Amino acid sequence: MSQQRKALLEEHEGRLQLALQAYNAKQFQSYRAAAAIFNIKHHTLTEHAKGKLF
């Protein structure tokens, strides 16, 4: 895996974790709203929250 690809994956994972934290802290009323702000797919965030890791 190239360094650039690895950096992109780490950055995406970070945004995913921040979106989950923000949702759990009641900063957003839905996964869709949190996903939009953190620029991730809402389906990915929802599945990740359910414990289904990709």
**Is 10 domain-assigned?**
yes
What 8-state DSSP symbol labels residue 19? Answer: H
Report how many domains make up the chain: 1
Run of H or E including 28 = none
**Is 25 domain-assigned?**
yes
**Is 16 domain-assigned?**
yes
Cβ-contact 47, 36 below 8 angstroms:
no
The pair of structure tokens assigned to 13 is: 């994972």
> Which residues form the domain of 34?
3-49
Model pLDDT for residues 10-20, shown as the tens digit of each residue = 999 999 999 99
Q: Report the 10 Å Cβ neighbour count for 13.
A: 12
Model pLDDT for residues 23-44, shown as the tens digit of each residue = 999 999 999 999 999 999 999 9
Place of tokens 């957003």: 28
The whole-number pLDDT of residue 1 equals 77
3-class SS of residue 29: coil
**Is 54 domain-assigned?**
no
